[in-house]
């Protein structure tokens, strides 16, 4: 199992053919091929493997290999040795064809008769627009490119996000895929789950005895999860983003996955099914914390034009390339949720994500209650000027990016004659503890898929449970018009309203 920790670092034993659908696209260049190269350079791929790039553009093998070699040199997280790159790209081939045409699959099947060049264990990676997922899976199956589960040679299909646009489309997509594949053959990717700190949430919670007893409504005041980006629309992403927005692009998958890991019950064991069962249970207990109006629990925003942190002028969302100038798509979303189970009842869970925010950061902050008696005063200083304030609660922070680590804020006595308390950080940072570059999420996830470990992939009922949480927002978008917020800020003041009745505020730092 992936979470046993070792398997991701062991070599894939069996020869394999990896077919990347959408091989001329951005994800293949920037992430997939560099990740496969690193796995190769570290000796983790089997000695016999072939990577087939599948797309419409008219390339031959040599041209495509040259392009992939350039992508590795540009995007590999580790220095890419020329000779190793040259050896690696010899494993790559190009298959030109249209994914929506059955003939392209028949041609691929004919090539696959040469089983020495194309080993019979097959991983199909669908790095394509979602509207092609169903067709691709149907033709893979009907052309005989996918074996049944339990066959001598395995077939697996990795599906990129987004998985649906709402509950109905996600359910329909699941049903369509399950007509041709078994659930055990489908690997729905959420690359957040491939990040080291995200996996560490589980080990932190369940490998240590001291935190778990206080992870509940008796000790935790609230939990806030933030995923903030400083960028606006990245080149070429406008069209896609305007159709999806922050809620669908970030909240439904990444933020709800973080919520699951920090709030789920301990699984009975570390098998993929046990972990995913616990995630589904907590998602099924989660809902918007609506008192009277849906706006009590949801706030949407759209960034306006202005200047970034370097004083450089930046466009507003509506002026960006490939964005409808009258678009109501949100670039910021904040939610207040509740988890209706014994552990978390009445503990507000606040999520937010946005573009053009003041800082790039992804973190989960678990804020504990303040001590019942205020024996001490707290001191807060800015330069030489210090203020006495009320004592601050402990906060446990899982910092997902950048500077991955786990931090605990505690009050300690400030040196001196007076008895005042100052907040300090007990910290564990990856870079300070291990002088080792962290694996990219895609390295981990590709290797897990090759090993047949689905722990870090999302199961069909899990995806549907995620959409069920968000669906009431999608049904009420008319009542939730986006507010405007300036660039280089933490969204807009209206999102503070979600903290009504909570002892705390967004951690804008």
Ligand X SMILES: NC(=O)c1ccc[n+]([C@@H]2O[C@H](COP(=O)([O-])OP(=O)(O)OC[C@H]3O[C@@H](n4cnc5c(N)ncnc54)[C@H](OP(=O)(O)O)[C@@H]3O)[C@@H](O)[C@H]2O)c1
Active site residues: 254
Judged by CB under 6 A, the residue of 7, 11, 27, 486 near ligand X is 27
Residue 301 Cβ vs ligand X, minimum distance, rounded to whole Å: 22
Instruction: Report in angstroms how near the CB of residue 111 gets to ligand X at its nearest.
Output: 16
Q: Which residue of this chain has its Cβ atom nearest to ligand X in the complex?
A: 25
CB of 127 or CB of 455, closer to ligand X: 127
Residue 22 in contact with ligand X, rule: CB under 6 A: yes
DSSP 287: E
Q: Are 456 and 194 in contact (CB under 8 A)?
A: yes
Q: List the one residue from 39, 41, 89, 128 that touches ligand X (CB under 6 A).
A: 128
Spatial contact of 426 and 410, defined as CB atoms under 8 Å apart: yes
C-beta separation of 299 from 498 below 8 A:
yes
CA distances from 318 to 177, 227, 484 (A): 36, 22, 11
Binding footprint of ligand X, residue count (CB under 6 A):
19
**Cis peptide leading into residue 402 (ω within 30°):** yes
Contacts of 30 (CB under 8 A, 6+ apart): 71, 75
CB atoms within 10 A of CB 150: 8
**Under the criterion CB under 6 A, does residue 103 sit at the interface with ligand X?**
no
Here the tokens at position 353 are 């994500």
| CB proximity list for 356: less than 8 A, separation 6 or greater | 229, 230, 231, 232, 303, 308, 314, 331, 487, 488
Find the DSSP H helices in 194-334.
Answer: 196-206, 238-246, 256-263, 272-284
Give 161 or 355: the residue with its C-beta nearer to ligand X: 161
147 to 186: interface string for ligand X, x by CB under 6 A:
-------------xxx------------------------
Q: Which of 26, 60, 321, 387 binds ligand X (CB under 6 A)?
A: 26
In the complex with ligand X, the residue whose CB is nearer, 303 or 442, is: 442
String of contacts with ligand X for each residue 315-344, x by CB under 6 A: ------------------------------
Question: Hey, what long-range contacts does 502-507 have (CB within 8 A, 24 or more apart)?
Answer: 502/221, 502/222, 502/348, 502/350, 503/221, 503/222, 503/369, 503/370, 503/393, 504/221, 504/222, 504/224, 504/367, 504/393, 506/224, 506/226, 506/350, 506/352, 507/224, 507/226, 507/363, 507/365, 507/395
Identify which of residues 106 and 214 has a Cβ nearer to ligand X in the complex.
106
DSSP letter at 233 equals: S
Query: Is residue 140 involved in binding ligand X (CB under 6 A)?
Result: no
Tokens 């109905």 label which residue? Answer: 168
DSSP 437: P
Which one, 32 or 406, has the nearer CB to ligand X? 32
* 257 binds ligand X per the rule CB under 6 A: no
The correct pick among 25, 306, 452, 486 for binding ligand X (CB under 6 A) is: 25
Residue 441 engages ligand X in binding (rule: CB under 6 A): no
Q: Which stretch binds ligand X (CB under 6 A): 128-136, 317-325, 403-411, 446-454?
A: 128-136
- The two tokens of residue 41 are 């350079």
Residues 78, 68: Cα–Cα separation, whole Å: 16
**Nearest approach, Cβ of 127 to ligand X (angstroms)?**
4
- C-beta of 125 vs 398, nearer to ligand X: 125
Interface segment toward ligand X; rule CB under 6 A; list 4-12, 93-101, 308-316, 427-435: 93-101
Listed ranges 25-33, 137-145, 205-213, 333-341: which one lies at the site for ligand X (CB under 6 A):
25-33
Residue 129 CB, nearest approach to ligand X (Å):
6
Cβ distance to ligand X smaller for residue 446 or 480: 446
Q: Is 286 helix (H, G, I), strand (E, B) or coil?
A: strand
**Minimum distance, C-beta of residue 106 to ligand X, in the bound complex (Å):** 15
Residue 127 found at the interface with ligand X (CB under 6 A) = yes
- Please state the separation of Cα 187 from the chain's center in Å: 14
Return the residues of window 39-68 that contact ligand X according to CB under 6 A.
55-57
| Residues that bind ligand X in the complex, under the rule CB under 6 A | 22-27, 55-57, 98-100, 127-130, 160-162
């Amino acid at each position: 199992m992936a979470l046993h920790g070792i398997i991701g670092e062991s070599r894939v034993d069996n020869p394999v053919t990896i077919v990347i659908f959408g091989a001329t696209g951005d994800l293949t260049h920037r992430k997939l091929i560099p990740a496969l190269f690193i796995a190769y350079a570290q000796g983790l791929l089997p000695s016999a493997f072939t990577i087939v790039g599948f797309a419409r553009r008219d390339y031959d093998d040599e041209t495509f290999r040259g392009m992939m070699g350039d992508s590795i040199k540009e995007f590999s997280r580790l220095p890419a040795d020329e000779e190793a790159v040259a050896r690696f790209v010899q494993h790559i081939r190009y298959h030109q064809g249209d994914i929506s045409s059955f003939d392209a699959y028949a041609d691929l099947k004919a090539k696959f008769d040469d089983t020495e060049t194309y080993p019979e264990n097959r991983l199909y990676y669908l790095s394509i627009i979602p509207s092609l997922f169903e067709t691709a899976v149907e033709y893979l199956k009907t052309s005989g490119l996918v074996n049944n589960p339990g066959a001598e040679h395995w077939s697996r299909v990795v599906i990129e996000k987004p998985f649906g646009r709402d509950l109905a489309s996600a359910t329909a997509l699941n049903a369509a895929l399950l007509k041709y594949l078994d659930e055990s053959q489908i690997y729905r990717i959420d690359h957040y789950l491939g990040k080291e700190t995200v996996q560490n949430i589980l080990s932190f919670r369940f490998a240590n005895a001291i935190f778990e007893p206080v992870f509940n409504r008796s000790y935790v005041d609230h939990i806030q999860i933030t995923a903030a980006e400083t960028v606006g629309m990245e080149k070429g992403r406008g069209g896609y983003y305007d159709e999806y927005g922050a809620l669908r692009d970030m909240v439904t998958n990444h933020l709800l996955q973080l919520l699951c890991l920090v709030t789920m019950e301990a699984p009975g064991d570390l098998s993929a099914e046990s972990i995913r069962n616990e995630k589904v249970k907590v998602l099924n207990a989660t809902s918007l914390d609506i008192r009277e109006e849906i706006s009590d629990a949801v706030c949407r925003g759209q960034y306006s034009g202005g200047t970034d942190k370097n004083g450089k002028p930046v466009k507003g969302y509506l002026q960006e390339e490939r964005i409808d100038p009258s678009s109501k798509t949100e670039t910021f979303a904040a939610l207040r949720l509740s988890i209706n189970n014994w552990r978390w009842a009445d503990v507000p869970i606040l999520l937010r994500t946005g573009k053009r925010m003041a800082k790039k950061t992804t973190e989960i902050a678990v804020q504990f209650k303040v001590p019942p008696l205020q024996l001490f005063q707290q001191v807060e200083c800015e330069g030489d000027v210090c203020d006495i304030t009320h004592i601050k609660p402990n906060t446990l922070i899982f910092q997902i990016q950048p500077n991955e680590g786990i931090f605990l804020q505690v009050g300690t006595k400030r040196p001196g004659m007076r008895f005042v308390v100052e907040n300090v950080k007990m910290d564990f940072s990856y870079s300070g503890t291990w002088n080792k570059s962290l694996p990219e999420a895609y390295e981990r996830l590709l290797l897990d898929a090759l090993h047949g470990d689905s722990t870090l992939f999302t199961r069909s009922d899990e995806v549907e449970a995620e959409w069920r949480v968000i669906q009431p927002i999608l049904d009420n978008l008319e009542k939730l018009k986006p507010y405007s917020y300036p660039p280089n800020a933490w969204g807009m003041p209206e999102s503070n309203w979600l903290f009504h009745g909570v002892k705390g505020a967004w951690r804008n730092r």
